[in-house]
């Protein structure tokens, strides 16, 4: 099924990959550091987990759809060129607003690093996959 020259199955798969990477990144690799930096008390029970995870997935779908549109515009169909589009979009559209937000909210630089590196990796991987599969 295609919409705006995008394979919606590829968009769905990219969103799932981003979502799973987020679970690994924030739930396993950087869980304790991230929770400490955002001020989550140790042992605190999360609330509305299903709603939060669902909304995160919707965001992943939107990002994946926008990313595949950028890839379609380039006409590139190799994994390496797709990763390049993902990184350029991450550095151009994710890095600056996250940096501005972290600086304005006086958040620790380490939190910015954890957050922005997740998005850069997610967009790199998604971009490569979408370029091959779109």
Confidence (pTM): 0.91
Mean pLDDT by 10 residues, the chain (134 residues): 82 98 97 94 86 96 96 96 98 97 96 98 98 93
Looking at residue 134, what is its pLDDT? 83
7, β-bridge pairs? 2
Contacts of 21 (CB under 8 A, 6+ apart): 118, 121, 122, 125
Which alpha helices (H) appear in 25-108, and where do they start and end? 31-38, 49-74, 79-89, 95-104
23, β-bridge pairs? none
């Amino acid at each position: 099924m295609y919409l705006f020259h995008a394979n919606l199955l590829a968009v769905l798969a990219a969103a799932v990959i981003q979502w799973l990477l987020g679970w690994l990144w924030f739930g396993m690799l950087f869980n304790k550091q991230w929770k400490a930096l955002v001020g989550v008390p140790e042992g605190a029970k999360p609330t509305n987990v299903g709603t939060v995870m669902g909304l995160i997935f919707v965001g992943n779908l939107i990002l994946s759809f926008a990313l595949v549109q950028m890839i379609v515009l380039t006409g590139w169909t190799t994994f390496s060129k797709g990763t390049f589009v993902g990184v350029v979009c991450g550095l151009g559209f994710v890095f600056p607003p996250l940096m501005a937000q972290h600086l304005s909210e006086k958040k620790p630089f380490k939190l910015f690093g954890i957050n922005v590196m997740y998005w850069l990796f997610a967009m790199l991987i998604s971009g490569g996959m979408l370029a091959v599969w779109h």
